[in-house]
């Protein structure tokens, strides 16, 4: 088993450029903020979706007999590209590939991924997972989108704490059937007949049932659709405004991806050094110490104001969902 797979964020820009860097043409990801089928259908052509959710740690997740929804289709594991997940931190890329590799007749997946698909289709699912984990091409592209993490804070973890875990699964219509492709399950899960044009409605029904199994307070889900390049759609229908919007989105994604990879420790250190030198020049150590005390006072005021206005000051932090 190969190691060295880093965590990447669940983000449409990350996954779109991950595909591009693997050689895939004319495909992108779009984040969906609703489970309305019309929202997904409006992104035609739609090749599949990937769904991020909190992995249950208090109940069994896998079963060899019957999944919580749908039925195992063990025969489909031979004709579909379905891989067992053998490594951590790669479930997002594996879900992405589970859609992509099963729509290769409609999507230009590029020469390198085409060769990888042809090689792995002859293998059983567990060996496909091993082949994926040992693919330097896919691992290197995946890791190129990991955030720079120069510090590791060991003080935040204690032996009694259970860390939240999240997992990606894929859904795609293949050969007239809606399949759930989850590398932690023993086989593809069939959710019944599904024509391509019926996919938005059918998959949203499945996702609604899945979300309903969680507590009402659980909102940490993320849904992204693998769709055709929206710039091509805009050019085809002659929508200049849409084209400009999509081009601007690509530029923003590129900028955000560059920020993710950059290590800002040196920059932050230089800024702090410059500020301290400026304060010392203003009035020596007295001015510097006064500036520090003023900053401490303002911080205490903000904390006190937050406690008074927030009903106890227990505001939770944002949860960043990764895979």
Q: Which residues are part of the catalytic machinery?
A: 91, 167
What does each C-alpha distance from 180 to 12, 42, 91, 102, 173 come to in angstroms? 20, 22, 14, 12, 9
For residues 144 and 21, the answer to whether their CB atoms sit within 8 Å is yes
DSSP code per residue over 151-220 = ---GGG--TT-----EEEEEEEEETTEEEEE-TTSSS-EEEEE--GGGHHHHHHHHHHHHHHTS-TT---
Q: What angle do CA 74, 88, 76 make, to 5 degrees?
A: 15
In 3-state terms the chain splits into helix, strand, coil percentages (rounded to 5) of: 50, 15, 40
For residues 260 and 147, the answer to whether their CB atoms sit within 8 Å is yes
- DSSP three-state, residue 136: helix
For residues 61 and 106, the answer to whether their CB atoms sit within 8 Å is no
| Residues present in the chain in total | 323
Assess whether the previous peptide bond of 263 is cis (omega < 30° from 0): no
Instruction: Compute the distance between CA of residue 78 and CA of residue 120 in angstroms, rounded to an integer.
Output: 11
What tokens were used for 113?
């991924």
């Amino acid at each position: 088993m190969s190691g060295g797979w880093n965590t990447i964020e669940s983000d449409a820009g990350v996954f779109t450029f991950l595909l591009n860097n693997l050689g895939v043409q004319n495909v992108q990801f779009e984040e969906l903020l609703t489970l309305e089928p019309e929202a997904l259908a409006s992104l035609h052509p739609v090749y599949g979706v990937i769904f991020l959710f909190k992995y249950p740690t208090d109940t069994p997740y896998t079963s060899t007999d019957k999944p919580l929804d749908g039925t195992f289709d063990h025969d489909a594991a031979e004709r579909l590209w379905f891989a067992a997940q053998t490594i951590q931190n790669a479930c997002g890329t594996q879900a992405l590939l589970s859609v992509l590799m099963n729509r290769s007749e409609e999507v230009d997946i590029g020469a390198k991924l085409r060769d990888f698909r042809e090689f792995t289709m002859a293998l059983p699912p567990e060996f496909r997972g091993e082949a994926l984990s040992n693919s330097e091409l896919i691992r290197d592209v995946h890791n190129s989108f990991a955030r720079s993490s120069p510090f590791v804070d060991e003080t935040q973890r204690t032996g009694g704490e259970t860390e939240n875990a999240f997992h990606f699964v894929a859904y795609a219509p293949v050969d007239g059937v809606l399949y759930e492709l989850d590398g932690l399950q023993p086989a593809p899960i069939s959710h019944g007949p599904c024509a391509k044009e019926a996919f938005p409605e059918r998959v949203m029904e499945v996702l609604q049932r899945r979300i309903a199994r969680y507590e009402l307070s659980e909102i940490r889900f993320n849904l992204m659709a693998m769709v055709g390049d929206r710039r091509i759609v805009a050019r085809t229908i002659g929508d200049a405004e849409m084209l400009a919007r999509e081009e601007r989105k690509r530029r923003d994604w590129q900028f955000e991806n560059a920020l993710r990879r950059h290590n800002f420790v040196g920059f932050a250190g230089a800024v702090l050094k410059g500020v301290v030198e400026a304060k010392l020049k203003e009035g020596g150590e007295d001015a510097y110490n006064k500036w520090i005390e003023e900053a401490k006072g303002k911080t205490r005021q903000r904390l006190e104001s937050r406690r008074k206005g927030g009903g106890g000051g227990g505001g939770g932090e944002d949860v960043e969902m990764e895979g």
